[in-house]
Structure 1
């Protein structure tokens, strides 16, 4: 299958791209090419869940982006890790399986995106899923993506959940079920103690198909057009520039940073910017790269009086060896865990009708995820803003495809964002003060419990706030002429080009984005196959 002619070309083997490659090649009817800029997912650090800490800063599998300093708020660059490997960010993320709220998708439908309401997308979530707890009205079994509970509970997580209940919040046993609000254990995309990335779930079963060609370490430079129809792609692999032709469609699934970059490099974007970069204009689409959103968060950190956190393991060789052996022989222990054991969703702003804050309990403390942990037992209680009103943008800074795009977030520019985070910090401090968990806490050392005024909390957000690494929205879906893609994910202004990844979200979902992007891949696959008939 070394011909350069295909029915479909998919760019990006991430959470959506892997799904689409599997589904389009399943019948054997279509020849499919999947291009991925990064390497294969052969590293054991990818498959061991705790490896996210290493891969968050590993240039071999990570684009290692950084956002521009804000003008008024968050006046510093913030690291933006993104997966550059088969599986994309699903191969390096913190493994939390979270869909968001029913209201998120119903809001998309209310914006005019027919077919994207909760009742419609639920079927696609269930289609992908193999829920280890079993099948119910909200969950599927038999799908490629394994969803599991932690293999072991943890006394600090138990105490945290009890503290939330004592503070008046609900106990929630399924954040992806009837409602999201409340506190409980997280579920992860793991199977038998191993990461279940999109590559493991969707590509591994499809690799031997003769009609599917997967090319890793293949960096796409641009989409090739004949008039306004996408007819192929130019990519670079092992120092050679290659061309591939697409009979039916080109599908871009490279994420909220790379997708607008690739569209602009290909001549689709704001005419003024493209002219400045000496890129021939294919379609003047002013909103390519606009509408960037992410979950900004405040990591409250606590020193503990018990040696039962990941800090203790990483600071002692004997415990590293013990947990290494436990993982090797049992696939249990800290090496089998995702970034957050437990968490919660709560509504703090008086103008919010559903949860607007996500809380994550992490059993380690460090300045940055993947950085050195503190030399004492510690945990972090992360306060994340679920539905930001601040908007940013992504634009090319060069016509060279290898140069990183310019990422501008404008974090905290909306008053409500600042108000909600301040309220969220106060609520989570209330929970952490409950005796069920306070009995383990020596002190809050970041930012420190004495820093309690609005001004103190805002200063903390300024200096220590970061994102949850859930960028979306830069190729907004909508029924209007200003949208980048229509509700069937077809790029407006051209033909035979589709986008299917986090960039199409008109608004950010209330939770981690891996599961929603896999859902987008499932729905996109159905639409593509329907349209080609």
Structure 2
């Protein structure tokens, strides 16, 4: 194992796996990828139905907790799962393939980020995608990321689709087509009954290349900076503290929690915050860790008269035995699917021009990221409502200069009053669906918010004690041109040469949907930006690094 590479990528998550593949494809450059977690070569990663396991794992999940808010969840902190494994969160997520709305990306462009509008990014979505429906104006059919239709395994899924239409919401066969609005079945990153995250799609096919080195269980402590230039990284690996050099660039792909943490540990951030933790400021960038955005989530929980959903009771687990055998033998059945089979994108109010709410339908009672096993042991169903474009934003800050110490994550939910209104109005819209005739054979007691909660304040008072998130943190190293921006439109960190951030943290604003597909598209574009630099510039950069 050598100690010098052209590129060092920190984090083998959704973006890091893309970069590892694309930057090594032409054979010209050596790339080192450092991942803090273990390999993804395990059935719990490859089995789509094993999603719930990760909520209890410390091996494959950073398992953070946000700063507790006395007004939410009875003061208990919101759980923040993040993938700690090859593939990152794409190896532990719900596998839903969603891009968001055209307007989301056009808004990025309108903020001054030229080259990042929807028409600019669509080619990268298509390049990354192998949609089993085939190629068309919106989809690709030959990319590394396999996207498939899933046969619904639960009758509750069909009930939701029927009820939504009975309540006046249109059916949409493709949330990633010409229009997002409507209800329908989610397409998933699943291939032949197995998860197809970024590691399977991008990283493993590239790992046979001699110019790619991937180290797992390697924890990066800081980026090494000399004279305002990133020249390498220091990391812990197999009981050793090592420093490896990058002749071209260091690229951070740790995600919206870990990338700003590593920048600050490296002396890049708000100088006062760094000084408070005894860290020498290499470059004052006050926006590092600011602008944290996440899809705040609330659920309607309903007991069921029927027993055809999923329960975590002993009887429920025993009823899964035939499906377990079916999966082991044929990679079919309930374990071959995401537990979230259907959902939708709807408007919280009729006068809006586009959806501001996303629905995730689940054939079980799901709260606290599935960690409330007592609740899940009962027969029931839940539908989750999230605010697609929240106006509240929070922060990621250091708790300590120790890289092993989890950062301070403060989502600052409902700091903006409008987020509360959108969420409550969304619950009201969802209740129309759950009250439709298709659910008559299922509907028993509404556990949350409870049928007695009918005013806005009463609804909010109930749902805020079950507040969660949809695992979509973004924005903490945002792209832009204002005083709080961290990277430019080529994702280069301001004020430090040879350093980029490529992951969901660069999003200036949160997109209207799940963030995995957009993160992969961002990395596809970033790889082209890196590889399309003039050769003379790359050679000069290399010479500068060696001299340094």
**TM-score with structure 2 setting the length:** 0.95
Q: Which residue of 1 aligns with 2:456?
A: 454
2:413 counterpart of 1:411: yes
Please tell me whether residue 210 in structure 1 is matched to residue 202 in structure 2: no
Verify: 1:35 aligned to 2:34, yes or no. Answer: yes
The DSSP-based 3-state class of the residue aligned with 2:368 is coil
Q: Is the 8 A contact 1:13 1:85 kept in 2?
A: yes
Aligned pair count?
532
Is residue 6 from structure 1 mapped to residue 10 from structure 2 by the alignment? no
Structure 1 residues 226 and 220: CA distance shift in structure 2, 3 A: same
In 2, Cα distance between the equivalents of 1:518 and 1:361? Answer: 25
| Map 1:42-121 → 2, pairs under 5 A | 42-70=41-69, 75-121=75-121
Residue in 2 aligned with 1:393? 395
- 1:34-91 Cα offsets, whole Å, 9 max, x none, are 0000000122111100111001220001101010023666644100000010000000
Alignment of 1:304-343 (within 5 A): 304-311=304-311, 315-343=315-343
In structure 2, the residue corresponding to 1:46 is in which secondary structure?
helix
Aligned-pair CA distance for 1:330: 2.4
Q: Which moved more, 1:134-143 or 1:481-490?
A: 481-490
- Identify the residue that residue 480 of structure 1 maps to in structure 2: 482
Helix, strand or coil: the match of 1:315?
helix
Q: Distance in 1 between matches of 2:445 and 2:19?
A: 48
8 Å CA contact retained: 2:152, 2:341: no
- Is the CA contact 1:99–1:516 (under 8 Å) kept in the aligned structure 2? yes
CA distance in 1, matches of 2:312, 2:460: 31
Structure 2 CA distance, aligned partners of 1:71 and 1:488? 40
**CA 1:71–1:414 in structure 2 vs 1: closer, same or farther (change >3 Å)?**
farther
Q: 1:279 to 1:44 in 2, by over 3 A?
A: same
Give the gaps of 5 or more residues in structure 1: none
Query: Helix, strand or coil for the counterpart of 1:407?
Result: strand
For residue 352 of structure 1, report the CA deviation from its aligned partner.
Answer: 4.1
Given the alignment, which residue of 458, 462, 465 partners 1:463? 465
| 1:523 is the counterpart of 2:525 | yes
Shift of 1:152: 3.9
Give, in angstroms, the shift of residue 363 of structure 1: 1.2
SS in 1 for 2:463: helix
Partner of 2:157: 157
Give me the whole-angstrom Cα distance separating, in 1, the residues matched to 2:367 and 2:430.
Answer: 20
TM-score, normalising length from structure 1? Answer: 0.97
Measure the CA separation in 2 of the matches of 1:402 and 1:142. Answer: 40
- Mapped to 2, the partners of 1:246 and 1:369 lie a distance apart of 39
> Structure 1, residues 363-387: CA drift from partner, whole Å, max 9, x if none?
1113333422533321111111111
Contact 1:292 1:471 in 2 (8 A): yes
Alignment equivalent of 2:492, drawn from 490, 493, 500: 490
- Cα gap change, 1:351 to 1:229, in 2 (>3 Å): farther
How far did residue 230 of structure 1 move?
Answer: 0.4
- 1:291 alignment partner, SS class: coil
The residue aligned with 1:435 is 437
Q: Aligned pair in 2 of structure 1 residues 313, 121: CA closer, same or farther (>3 Å)? A: farther
Pick which of 206-215 and 274-283 moved more. Answer: 274-283
Query: Match of 1:232, SS?
Result: strand
Q: Distance in 2 between matches of 1:25 and 1:185?
A: 36
For residues 180 and 239 of structure 2, the distance between their equivalents in structure 1, rounded to whole angstroms, comes to 48
Q: Any gaps of 5 or more consecutive residues in structure 2?
A: 536-548
Tell me the alpha carbon deviations over residues 19-44 of structure 1, each in whole angstroms, 9 at most, x when there is no partner: 00000001111000000000001221
SS of aligned partner of 1:205: helix
Other-structure match for 2:129 = 129
Displacement of 1:153 in angstroms is 5.1
In 2, the alpha carbon distance for the partners of 1:304 and 1:139 equals: 38
Partners of 1:104 and 1:438 lie apart in 2 by 37
What is the distance in 1 between the residues matched to 2:251 and 2:351? 39
Q: How far off its partner does 1:162 sit?
A: 1.6
Q: CA RMSD in A?
A: 1.5
| Alpha-carbon shift at residue 253 of structure 1 (Å) | 0.3
Counterpart in the other structure of 2:539: none
Give 1:149 shift.
1.1
Q: Which residue of 1 aligns with 2:542?
A: none
Q: Residue 70 of structure 1 aligns to a residue in which SS?
A: coil
Deviations 1:325-384 (A, max 9, x none): 111122222211213110011111467431100011011113333422533321111111
Q: How far apart, CA to CA, are the structure 2 residues paired with 1:78 and 1:317?
A: 27
Aligned counterparts of 1:495 and 1:257: Cα–Cα separation in 2 = 22
For the residues of structure 2 that align with 1:314 and 1:496, how far apart are their CA atoms?
55
Q: Which range moved further: 434-443 or 206-215?
A: 434-443
**Are the equivalent residues in 2 in contact too, given 1:296–1:466 (CA < 8 A)?**
yes
More displaced, 68-77 or 154-163? 68-77
**What do residues 471-530 of structure 1 show as CA deviations (whole Å, max 9, x unaligned)?**
000011013343110111000111110001110010001111111111111011011111
Distance 1:19 1:532 in 2: 21
